[in-house]
Structure 1
Amino acid sequence: QEIEALRPFLPEGTDLRTSYDVSTFIKSAISEVYTTLAIAASLVILVIWVFLGDLRATLIPALTVPISLIAACLAILGFDFSINLLTLLAMVLAIGLVVDDTIVVVENIHHHLDQGKPPLLAAWDGIREVGFAVVATTLVLVATFVPIVFLPGTVGQFFREYAITLTAAVIFSSVVALTLAPALCSKLLRQHNTNNPQGGVSRLLHPVERAYGWSLGHALHHRWLAILIIAASFYGIWQAWQYIPRTLMPTEDRGSIFVLVRGQEGASAQAMQKSMLEVEQKLQPWLQKSGVESTLLRSPGWGTQGDNSGFMILGLKPWDQREKHASELVGEMRRLFGGIPDVNVIPILRSAIRAGSRTPVEFVIGGADYDQLEQWAAIIMERAEENPGLRDLDIDFKRNQPQIKAEFDRERAAALGVSAQALGETMEIMLAGEAVSQFMERGRQYDVWIKGIEEQLTNPDDLARLQIRSSTTGELIPLANLVTFRTVGEAARLPHYNRTRTITISGGLSDDYTLGEAIDYLDKLAAELLPAEAVIDYQGESLDYKTDSASIELVFLFALIVVYLVLAAQFESFINPLIVMLTVPLGLAGGLIGILYTGDSLNIYSQLALIMLIGLVSKNGILIVEFANQLRDRGLAFEEAIIQASERRLRPILMTALTTVLGSLPLILATGAGAESRQSIGVVVFSGIAFATVLTLLVTPLTYNLMARYTRSPQQISQQLDEQKESYEKD
């Protein structure tokens, strides 16, 4: 709109066109997320209906989805966020989560209706029985998401909106499950016929529940099996951690390719323009068959890159109109650019979290002086060039820019009456110019500059013919009698970073090499080859990888501690929370296995999903442990309480796990703009929940049998208090 408003004011023959539009990727990615959102909601509602076989009962959890999403939108509005890729991604994941609490409530009320109770009584008894579990699972999920809000750095800014949106949706879903769901059940559901109580898949689950209870009764006599499974999970996590490649972000196809062109030091703008045209001609036949629909060429490049630089942006066709991923096109381009003389052409894919056009590897070496730094950088470069995973290696300090060095003969100048100050002023005026006066013209003030004619000062011989007046004799003395001019190669600039003299090694990555592997390799080289006084640091995406990876690990540990403390407060015990938390390694092992199987990397998206698994896999353990405590309070024997609790909670566990798994399935199958980030989260959630759900049904009862035999439930304290109160009042 702004461009169209400017068109009437443009000079004749001038036009404004869009050469590069970042919003194309954003619009396409948001459209894909909307589609994923609709598919996930449909799958979740379908699962509920298939299990319950009751359209009215299905309607109640289905209402949770729009209510929770509206609540999430209110949180977005309240925190002054926007509807963007991350908030929409949070809503996609929320669909599989927000129905869990309502499913537990409705399923339990459904169970009481099957016993012949009227709807009002069934709703009352059902919510009282699972209310504690609903509150505990919600607090655990919130405790998992909240630490993400406090992530520092770029990743913290990146995922803060995501965490808050998801937290708001989960909290409101819990409120709906505890209030609206039982109220609707009492009004909409009908009393069941005890002779034909259930429909849907639930009817078919009775043999499965009985078989599960029978097998669990036998397994309880081998309770140390749980320790073996948990130990195997820890071993699997450790093994997977060794083999999974690590990077900051997945390689995203953002609909464009950036091309950096670097010429020889000292190359003029005209020479670079010629080289850029050669690059474009080399690309032209390839562009027509490779899905490139627009080309933007600029020389010199952006910012402070200098005259010996160029820059290109290749705009790709929409994702559904081409078969090749942008990374494949980058590989083809590298092979094309091999034969262009005098320039180094580097195609790169733009990072999702860093603007600009920098290479992913930026390894900084700091020290006392540049001579020493140059030696250290040469040692690292020599070894790094042997690594096929590193491409287009370069340093930002090269002594190959032609410069004229002036050597002043002070003794001869003093004898001829010429001072160093006079020489400096003369050189400054002739080469740079100096404002010597001002004049007024039509009310405006202008500076008057004097400067030598550039065409007459193009080489050292021209400078030698300049003359300077002697302060003693008044004669003009040629500079050739006082100064020796010679051409030398020097660095174009003296780089500093964090107030230290530095040299930065930059480079790209091959298709099968990750940023984490590159940083670890360079760190290892520095430890082996450089002395202790060398300062190692990072810039750009490499710095983000180092700092944010460490931050996520701390947040993961913090989330574990917070979840344990929340559960300890809920259960009023330190043993019951530990039983629940022992399901976490099962989920983590499953998530890492999923990453290994799909060939994905451990990036900030997959690490975020691993943090989420802490809360997601704990929910199943909470349902079993909390109901086992209730049954023990009712007087059931310890082992009988375990078997009945596990058997009774099998259906809600399977339903909630299936809704979460199917809610993540559209993320795994995502295509188009931004699909890589959605796939990273979907794979971890899908595999982690599926793996943990199967093992939790065995591990949680066995660990409860192993560790909780002599524990008490929170209700037992309340019962003792009531008994003592009644005894005191009677006395």
Structure 2
Amino acid sequence: MTADTVGSRVHKATLQSVNRIIGSHRNRVICIAVTCVTSLLVLFTLTPPAEYLPEGEEPKVFASMNAPPGYNLAAMQAISEEVEAYFLPFVGDDPSRFQRGETQVPALKYMNMRVAPDQIRIIAEPLDAADIDAVMDALTNKYKTYPGMRAFAARGSIITSNDGGTRSINLDIAGPDLAVIYDVALNAYRRAEEVFENPRIQTSPNSLTLAQPMVEIRPHWDRAAELGLNAEQLGFTISALTDGSYVDEFFLADDKIDIYLYSDAGQQATLDNLDQMPIYTPSGAVLPLAALADIIETVDTSAIRRVAGRRTVSLNIIPPRSIPLETGVEMVKQDVVQYLKDNGKIPLNVQTNISGAADQLDAARSALTSNYLVAVLIVYLLLVAIFNHWGYPLLIMTSIPLGIAGGIVGLWLINAVGGILPWVGLPAISQPFDMISMLGFLILMGTVVNNPILIVHRAVENIKASGMSALDAVSEAVDARLRPIAMSTITTICGLAPLVLIPVPVQNCTAVSVLL
């Protein structure tokens, strides 16, 4: 069978189907009703939950271990040496050993480590990019073997910061009392771990305990005023006698150098002799610090974070990749925040707010919705200008809902087929419904009307020039325009197919929407 024969048969079958549909009033009504109902069902049942942006991932892991109050650089250095000794043998290892289950850590290409008094941070990359999740799990599991440590790991991103920015759900907890908001944050942290399966959770500040040793110096303001000391002078003097007081800065070549003022007497200051530090007053008297202030040893937080002037603790919750961002936001709202409120674990004077990528998703979706309306209006006005008629463009634009439904079906098919690929030994394919995909649907509005324009224009010309009836005009228009429509469709499919089939997420998002 030749290609011409196949083409002729397809052409004839298509034309017969069109004639059958438009041949009677009953068939036309059924076709319109089925098309509308099918499009609505697809939009309401198959539209996937939204994501914000493609992660633009690079195969790197950024893992942090945050220490509770009381740790110092020496203690963290000792822990870092143990962690390094554990992971270093896997640098340059054979990747197949992990695939065979002989090791619990995948082979690493490299591992960088930074140690601070309150944190250890590791940047690592697996030899096999498919092992990225296993590397994150291995690092966090090792971190959690140290009591009190809080572990967090995220993939590297070329689009946002390396802390899960495009999928981070930020839960801001604000209130007047640090002890209360820390307690609420801990409850939210534990509840999020129950709701999500293996989530990545980071807190800001890193520690959620009021156990940081602290020395409070509470001045006797009446006594200080008698000696001519104000708050700024007293604070500057005490800083100079202990950690040093900032004076100014200067530039040496390209380096900025801070200038601090120190006292020889204060360099050896300890808690035992702090109250005996000599304070020189403007009146010329020299008094011990104990004569001007009370020195109180206490515990508190190591950092105070404020948002809009309120004391705030933020939880950055990154749901598992199997849970879309939109679904994750609803789970945080209902299963975390509302659950805690219903159980009386969030006091009335504590406010919660969800921000981060969740906020940006809502803002971007609102902007795209208004852009869709503007795009529809522009397409309509352009068609009115082309046809010099207000009604024909409405007929052409009825193809837009059907085209959008086709794009939704295409996304569903991509994810459905991609989910079963591991059964035949191929890597899974997943196409999220993110903002780039939504831009593809915006582009789709301009392309989906191209074929109806050809049909309607030919049919109108048939009626005006040849005096055909409406049914004969449409039938002839389909007969004449079917071949160029098929040719343009095939070239579009062939042009976009590489972008769909080649795994480059930022390209795939738009191409899938337009192609399908």
Give the TM bin, normalised by the shorter chain: 0.7 to 0.9
1:49-98 deviations in whole A, cap 9, x for unaligned?
A: xxxxxxxxxxxxxxxxxxxxxxxxxxxxxxxxxxxxxxxxxxxxxxxxxx
Q: How does 1:271-290 map to 2 (within 5 A)?
A: 271-287=75-91, 288=93, 289=95, 290=106
Structure 2 vs 1, CA of residues 583 and 276 (structure 1 numbering), >3 Å: closer, same or farther? Answer: farther
Structure 2 vs 1, CA of residues 394 and 566 (structure 1 numbering), >3 Å: closer, same or farther? Answer: same
Asked whether the 8 Å contact 1:389–1:518 carries over to 2, the reply is no
Q: How does 1:595-614 map to 2 (within 5 A)?
A: 595-599=411-415, 600-614=431-445
Instruction: State the 1:235 CA deviation.
Output: 1.7
SS at match of 1:339: coil
SS at match of 2:130: coil
1:465 paired with 2:282, answer no
Instruction: State the 1:651 CA deviation.
Output: 1.6
The whole-number CA distance in structure 2 between the counterparts of 1:642 and 1:238 is 32
Asked whether the 8 Å contact 2:392–2:456 carries over to 1, the reply is yes
Instruction: State the 1:375 CA deviation.
Output: 5.7
Asked whether the 8 Å contact 2:71–2:118 carries over to 1, the reply is yes
What amino acid is aligned across from residue 329 of structure 2 in structure 1? I
1:139-191 deviations in whole A, cap 9, x for unaligned?
A: xxxxxxxxxxxxxxxxxxxxxxxxxxxxxxxxxxxxxxxxxxxxxxxxxxxxx
Rg larger in 1 or in 2?
1
Q: Which runs of 4+ in 1 moved over 6 A?
A: 414-418, 469-473
Gaps (5+ residues) in structure 2? Answer: 96-105, 249-257, 416-430
Partner of 1:250: 54
Partner of 1:210: 12
Structure 2 vs 1, CA of residues 501 and 337 (structure 1 numbering), >3 Å: closer, same or farther? Answer: closer
Partner of 2:40: 234
The whole-number CA distance in structure 2 between the counterparts of 1:311 and 1:280 is 11
Partner of 1:383: 191
Partner of 2:212: 401
The whole-number CA distance in structure 2 between the counterparts of 1:228 and 1:270 is 72
The whole-number CA distance in structure 1 between the counterparts of 2:9 and 2:20 is 17
Partner of 2:458: 627
1:353 paired with 2:184, answer no
Instruction: State the 1:348 CA deviation.
Output: 0.9
Partner of 2:449: 618
Structure 2 vs 1, CA of residues 335 and 568 (structure 1 numbering), >3 Å: closer, same or farther? Answer: farther
SS at match of 1:386: helix
Instruction: State the 1:586 CA deviation.
Output: 1.9
Q: How does 1:685-704 map to 2 (within 5 A)?
A: 685-686=514-515, 688=516
Partner of 2:421: none
Structure 2 vs 1, CA of residues 641 and 414 (structure 1 numbering), >3 Å: closer, same or farther? Answer: closer
What amino acid is aligned across from residue 268 of structure 2 in structure 1? Q
Report the TM-score, using the length of structure 1 for normalisation.
0.56
SS at match of 2:405: helix
Q: How does 1:188-587 map to 2 (within 5 A)?
A: 201-202=3-4, 204-220=6-22, 221=24, 222-224=27-29, 225-241=31-47, 244-287=48-91, 288=93, 289=95, 290-300=106-116, 307-317=117-127, 322=128, 324=130, 326-357=132-163, 360-365=167-172, 367=174, 369-371=176-178, 373-374=181-182, 377-378=185-186, 380-389=188-197, 391-397=199-205, 398=208, 399-409=210-220, 413=223, 423-433=234-244, 449-452=261-264, 456-458=268-270, 460-468=271-279, 474=285, 477-480=287-290, 483-498=293-308, 501-524=311-334, 525-526=336-337, 529=341, 534=351, 536=353, 538-539=355-356, 541-587=357-403
Instruction: State the 1:417 CA deviation.
Output: 6.5
1:210-246 deviations in whole A, cap 9, x for unaligned?
A: 23222222211211122221221122111122xx232
SS at match of 2:157: coil
Structure 2 vs 1, CA of residues 204 and 349 (structure 1 numbering), >3 Å: closer, same or farther? Answer: same
**Which of the residues 484, 503, 508 maps onto 1:679?**
508
SS at match of 1:649: helix
Asked whether the 8 Å contact 2:174–2:181 carries over to 1, the reply is yes
The whole-number CA distance in structure 2 between the counterparts of 1:282 and 1:341 is 17
SS at match of 2:199: strand
Instruction: State the 1:454 CA deviation.
Output: 6.0
What amino acid is aligned across from residue 623 of structure 1 in structure 2? L
Report the TM-score, using the length of structure 2 for normalisation.
0.77
The whole-number CA distance in structure 1 between the counterparts of 2:131 and 2:370 is 34
Instruction: State the 1:580 CA deviation.
Output: 1.7
Partner of 2:422: none
What amino acid is aligned across from residue 324 of structure 1 in structure 2? A
The whole-number CA distance in structure 2 between the counterparts of 1:235 and 1:394 is 39
SS at match of 2:383: helix
The whole-number CA distance in structure 1 between the counterparts of 2:246 and 2:449 is 74
1:468-519 deviations in whole A, cap 9, x for unaligned?
A: 4688995x55434554423333333332335554332113332312332222
Q: Note the aligned Cα RMSD (angstroms).
A: 3.6
The whole-number CA distance in structure 1 between the counterparts of 2:289 and 2:160 is 51
SS at match of 2:52: coil
**Which of the residues 653, 660, 667 maps onto 2:485?**
653
SS at match of 1:505: strand
Structure (1/2) with the larger helix percentage: 1
Amino-acid identity (%) = 20
Structure (1/2) with the larger strand percentage: 2
Instruction: State the 1:401 CA deviation.
Output: 2.9
Asked whether the 8 Å contact 1:435–1:450 carries over to 2, the reply is no
Structure 2 vs 1, CA of residues 631 and 570 (structure 1 numbering), >3 Å: closer, same or farther? Answer: same
Alignment coverage as a number of residue pairs: 462
SS at match of 1:660: helix
SS at match of 2:313: strand
Asked whether the 8 Å contact 1:580–1:625 carries over to 2, the reply is yes
SS at match of 2:121: strand
The whole-number CA distance in structure 1 between the counterparts of 2:247 and 2:21 is 97
Instruction: State the 1:550 CA deviation.
Output: 2.6
Asked whether the 8 Å contact 1:431–1:452 carries over to 2, the reply is no
Instruction: State the 1:575 CA deviation.
Output: 2.4
